[in-house]
Structure formats: structure tokens, C-alpha cells
């Protein structure tokens, strides 16, 4: 068993305070209506909140995680919700065979995968969109996320690593969850586009004017 598999199985089984939200990351819910339809990939899916959300919107989803415990919970939640269309794949991301030009939407949330970005970008279909959210280093008091900076991104790490995509949105900010706990997050929406002329999504906040 790989170190990550054992470590994360133990965390899911023994750490009572470790609980992942049921709702998808806010950016996915916010952007869903603008995204290309088709196949989805959720990397390090955990209990599958993003994968289940994509499947409930008609996507055919591959959801990968190293932890058996996480995937058991994810599959049980999908069954409870009556969500079909997710293939749960137990694999270390290091061993996952990314298919090229395959996925219309790829989601990564709260998993440090900068080393895997070349594979992820190649796995995007033409016009496919990457939605990536991760913890940031911050001087503000933070309640959620890794206890050390090692697994947090510096300002613009994620943006810099994705500059070969069309950046549809990039934000760094503090967020408060439903229980009032704070986290510092970077969120990137990037599209695999080619050429200097391309289409763009409308403003999502409804603001108009030139």
C-alpha cells in the first residue's frame, strides 16, 4: 500500500474532526451553466462532492482518489442521492493514466497537484475547462487547511502554472464556511483554447456596460 493510501485511509477512519463538505466548491456551482458538456474528471475526489455535482448535471465523470475509505463514502453518498454517472477510480494520482484530449471539465479542489498540471492540461478536450481551488499561505488567522505552509500555495503559484490556458477567472481571498471557519483560497477557472480569437463567457455577476 502506498504511503498516501495508508495515510489518507487512516485520516478518514480515525480523525473525527476531518469532514469534507457535501456541497461542491462554490466556483463549480457558479460556473456550471457556462461549462462545456460531456465528460468530467474530479482529481482527488474525496467524498465526491464535485464529481456528484457534475454527474447530477449530466456529465459522465471519472473520479479518482487514493483512499478506499473516501471512495466508499463517495459511492454511498451518490447512491443515497440517486446520482448515477460517476466511475469511482482508486488510484494514486502518480499512477493514473491521464487520457489526452478527453475531459470537458476537470475539477481539483484542496489537493496540491501543481506537478500534475501538464498531464491535467493535456487531458482537457479542446475548449475544456479546468476548475482548480486550493489553500493559500496567509498572515491572516485561518481555521481550515494544512497546518503548515508546505502544502499551501503562495500568491499566484496556481495562476503562473496555468498561463498557457485562457484564464477566465482567478481570485485569491478569505472565505468563511457555513460554520464560521475561515480559509484562504485561490480559485482558477482556465480554458484550453487555441488561437487569438475565441468566445468568452458572459459576466456572471450580471454587471453590464462597456
Ligand X SMILES: C[S@@+](CC[C@H](N)C(=O)[O-])C[C@H]1O[C@@H](n2cnc3c(N)ncnc32)[C@H](O)[C@@H]1O
Residues that bind ligand X (CB under 6 A): 4, 8, 20, 44-46, 49, 65-67, 70, 92-94, 109-111
What is the distance between the alpha carbons of residues 142 and 206, in angstroms, rounded to a whole number? 31
* CB closer to ligand X, 123 vs 193: 123
Cβ-proximal residue to ligand X, closest one: 46
What's the sign of the alpha-carbon dihedral 156, 3, 49, 127? positive
Q: 171 vs 200, which CB is nearer to ligand X?
A: 171
Among 11, 162, 12, 5, which residue's Cα sits nearest to residue 94?
5
- Write down the least CB distance from residue 84 to ligand X, Å: 20
Q: Which is nearer to ligand X, 44 or 142 (CB)?
A: 44
Nearest residue (CB) to ligand X, 186 versus 193: 186
Q: Smallest distance, Å, CB 73 to ligand X?
A: 9
Question: Least distance in Å: CB of 111 to ligand X?
Answer: 5
Phi-psi label, residue 48: left if phi above 0, alpha if psi -120 to 50, beta otherwise: left
Of all helices (H) and strands (E), which one includes residue 29?
Answer: helix 26-31
**Nearest residue (CB) to ligand X, 111 versus 191:** 111
Query: Do residues 103 and 40 lie in contact, with contact meaning Cβ atoms separated by under 8 Å?
Result: yes
How near is the Cβ of 129 to ligand X at its closest, in Å? Answer: 17
Q: What's the min distance (Å) between Cβ of 157 and ligand X?
A: 17
d(CA 25, CA 108): 10
In this structure, are residues 27 and 187 in contact, taking their beta carbons and an 8 Å threshold? yes
Angstrom distance (rounded) from CA 179 to CA 173: 18
Amino acid at each position: 500500500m502506498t504511503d498516501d493510501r495508508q495515510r489518507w485511509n487512516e485520516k478518514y477512519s480515525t480523525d473525527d474532526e476531518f469532514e469534507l463538505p457535501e456541497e461542491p466548491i462554490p466556483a463549480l456551482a457558479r460556473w456550471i451553466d457556462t461549462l462545456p458538456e460531456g465528460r468530467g474528471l474530479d482529481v482527488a475526489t474525496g467524498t465526491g462532492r464535485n464529481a456528484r455535482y457534475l454527474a447530477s448535471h449530466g456529465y459522465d465523470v471519472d473520479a479518482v482518489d487514493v483512499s478506499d475509505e473516501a471512495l466508499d463514502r463517495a459511492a454511498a453518498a451518490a447512491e443515497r442521492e440517486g446520482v448515477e454517472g460517476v466511475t469511482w477510480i482508486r488510484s494514486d494520482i502518480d499512477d493514473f493514466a491521464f487520457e489526452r484530449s478527453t475531459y470537458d471539465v476537470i475539477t481539483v479542489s484542496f489537493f496540491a497537484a501543481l506537478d500534475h498540471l501538464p498531464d491535467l492540461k493535456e487531458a482537457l478536450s479542446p475548449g475544456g475547462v479546468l476548475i482548480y481551488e486550493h489553500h493559500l499561505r496567509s498572515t491572516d488567522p485561518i481555521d481550515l487547511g494544512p497546518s503548515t505552509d508546505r502544502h499551501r500555495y503562495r500568491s499566484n503559484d496556481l495562476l503562473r502554472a496555468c498561463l498557457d490556458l485562457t484564464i477566465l477567472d482567478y481570485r485569491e481571498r478569505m472565505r468563511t464556511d457555513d460554520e464560521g471557519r475561515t480559509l484562504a483560497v485561490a480559485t482558477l477557472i482556465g480554458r484550453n483554447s487555441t488561437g487569438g480569437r475565441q468566445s468568452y463567457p458572459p459576466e456572471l455577476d450580471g454587471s453590464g456596460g462597456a
